[in-house]
């Protein structure tokens, strides 16, 4: 079993990192709200950023094994920065817009639009959530890389 993990660690470690962070979010949500929300296991947003942890753990493992001067490390670190920028920038802005649109649609007499479901408001991350996710990624990558 350990041989399989070591052979496929560049797939298994990031996936396991994502899974355990999402599981943590599910359990935390259950404890704080007293409601089981299975959507938390696949949903975006929240503390910490699993997206950041995944890409940074992968980049850290690659840097540790291939060297920080290798082209594949360069690719992985640029990819990580793009994902983290997207999480804290574009997706966070989209979540803010969804929150505002949900309020507008719910305001009586303001719009005649009927919506069957609310837009998802938690899409992105705060910079702190991205930073904590990246920190977890570095730690995981250093341990398993």
On whether residue 135 sits in a domain, the answer given is yes
Instruction: Give the model's pLDDT for residue 132.
Output: 95
* Torsion angle of C-alpha atoms 68, 72, 77, 78, degrees rounded to 10: 130
On whether residue 118 sits in a domain, the answer given is no
**What are 55-65's pLDDT values in tens digits?**
999 999 999 99
Number of domains the chain contains: 1
Domain assignment of residue 18, given as a range: 2-89+124-144
On whether residue 117 sits in a domain, the answer given is no
> Do the beta carbons of residue 55 and residue 83 sit within 8 Å?
yes
**What are 75-118's pLDDT values in tens digits?**
999 999 999 988 877 666 666 666 676 676 676 655 566 666 66
């Amino acid at each position: 079993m350990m041989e399989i993990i070591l052979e496929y660690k560049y797939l298994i470690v990031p996936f396991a990192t994502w899974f355990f962070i999402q599981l943590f979010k599910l359990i935390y949500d259950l404890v704080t709200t007293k409601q089981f929300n299975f959507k938390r296991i696949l949903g975006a947003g929240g503390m910490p950023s699993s997206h950041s942890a995944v890409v940074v753990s992968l980049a850290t493992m690659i840097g540790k094994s291939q060297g920080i001067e290798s082209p594949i490390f360069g690719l992985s670190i640029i990819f990580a920065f793009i994902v983290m920028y997207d999480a804290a920038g574009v997706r966070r802005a989209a979540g803010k817009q969804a929150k505002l649109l949900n309020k507008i649609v719910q305001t009586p007499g303001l719009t005649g639009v009927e919506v069957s479901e609310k837009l998802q408001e938690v899409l992105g991350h705060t910079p702190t959530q991205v930073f904590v996710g990246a920190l977890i990624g570095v730690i995981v990558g250093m341990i398993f890389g």
